[in-house]
Structures are given as C-alpha cells and as structure tokens.
Amino acid sequence: MSAQPLLDVTRTELEGVVILKPRRFGDGRGWFTESFNTARMREAGIDLDFIQDNQSFSADKGTVRGLHYQTPPAAQDKLVRVLAGAILDVAVDLRRASPTYGRHVSVELSAENGLQLLVPKGFAHGFSTLTPDTMVFYKVTAPYAPDCDKGIAFDDPDLKIDWGLGGETPILSDKDGRQPSFASVESPF
C-alpha cells in the first residue's frame, strides 16, 4: 500500500486555486506535520516566494472578512490555513480573460481537517467563521499595500456566495459593510 504523500494537492474548478493537505504523523501524543515546506510545494509545481505571514482572530462564529484583493504591483498569492476553529474559505476569479471569471470556490478549512487553500494573484479572497474563536493564518507573496487594498461586497448578488451563515447577519468590519459591487469593479487582472 503506497504511503500517504507528504503533501496532497487537489485542484479545483478554478485554475490555480488548489487545496493542500500536508501529511500528519500521528502517535499516542497527538500529531506532527510540516505545515509549510518549499521543497514539497515545488514538487507540486507551486514555486512562490512567500514574504509575509498574516494571522487574524475572530471571536464570533458568523464573522465575514472579505472579499479582498490587492491590485498590481502589490497583488498577492495567499496560502490560507486555520490554526483554531473552522472557516468557509472563498476565492473568486477576477481574471477577465478566464473562462471562470466571476466564479468562486468555497472550501471548509479547519484546525481539525488541516486543509490549506492556495489563492493565487487575480482572485478575491474572503472567509466566514464557522466556529467561535477562529484563528486564521496565511502566507502572502507581497507586502501589505493599503493603496492597493481593494474589495468587493461579500453578498454581491452576481457572485451568489453562500457563506454558511444560516440566514444570520454576519459580523463585518465597517469597510466590508460598504464594499463595491462586483459589476462596478474594473478588475486589473
């Protein structure tokens, strides 16, 4: 029986957006994993230079952060994982020439399932929290650039994203409560 790969990679219907699952080595104490390894990423054909780590804590279930992206020259690739709790992680294709322009994928990432989502440049990113006390950690390939930090309304009617909120009003930042519609955004990608 072949051993589980050290890094399992699953493509999604959006070209470039992939789900990563580093192998966990379990024993009587719990488990160990190499949560990030550039050699394993390169073997998977992912050759990105992550230069900044971000971390956000959301106290309440039903928090939505997003949809956000940075425009060139500060566009970011993001590698997202959850250290505590669970999120519905969403990537929206903003690449105007893409056959999946305007389409999204949503993946449940949790401390328990150990899944990670790679969100390349050209995609908007956001997540909703599925548990209280959710800690999200993500690596990015470009520094924070406030002037390039843009957004799209999380509840845009054209994007039709189900955030798993069960009809509840989400907890949002003021900024995310007034993001522009998808139709009004001139994507730079």
Ligand X SMILES: Cc1cn([C@H]2C[C@H](O)[C@@H](COP(=O)(O)OP(=O)(O)O[C@H]3O[C@H](C)C(=O)[C@H](O)[C@H]3O)O2)c(=O)[nH]c1=O
- Long-range contact list for 42-47, CB < 8 A, 24+ apart? 43/7, 44/7, 44/9, 44/18, 44/20, 46/9, 46/18, 46/118
Count of positions on this chain that bind ligand X (CB under 6 A): 12
> Alpha-carbon distance 177 to 170, whole Å?
10
Would you give the binding string for ligand X spanning residues 122-141, x where CB under 6 A is met?
---xxx--------------
Answer for which of 65, 81, 95, 121 binds ligand X (CB under 6 A) is 65
Answer for the pair 16, 98: CB distance below 8 angstroms, yes or no: no
Catalytic residue among 69, 104, 125, 138: 138
Residue closer to ligand X by CB (options 6, 155) is: 155
Supply the DSSP symbol for 180. P
Would you give the binding string for ligand X spanning residues 77-116, x where CB under 6 A is met?
-x--------------------------------------
> Alpha-carbon distance 100 to 105, whole Å?
10
Q: What is the 3-state secondary structure (H, E, C) of 45-113?
A: CCCCCCCEEEEEEECCCCEEEEEEEECCCCCCCEEEEEEECEEEEEEEECCCCCCCCCCEEEEEEECCC
Residue closer to ligand X by CB (options 41, 67) is: 67
Catalytic residue among 68, 69, 104, 125: 68
Instruction: Tell me if residue 138 is catalytic.
Output: yes
For the CB of residue 172, give the shortest distance to ligand X in the complex, in Å: 9
For ligand X, the binding residues in 21-60 under the rule CB under 6 A are: 54, 56
List, by residue number, the catalytic residues. 68, 138
Binding site for ligand X (CB under 6 A): 54, 56, 65-66, 68, 78, 125-127, 144, 173, 175
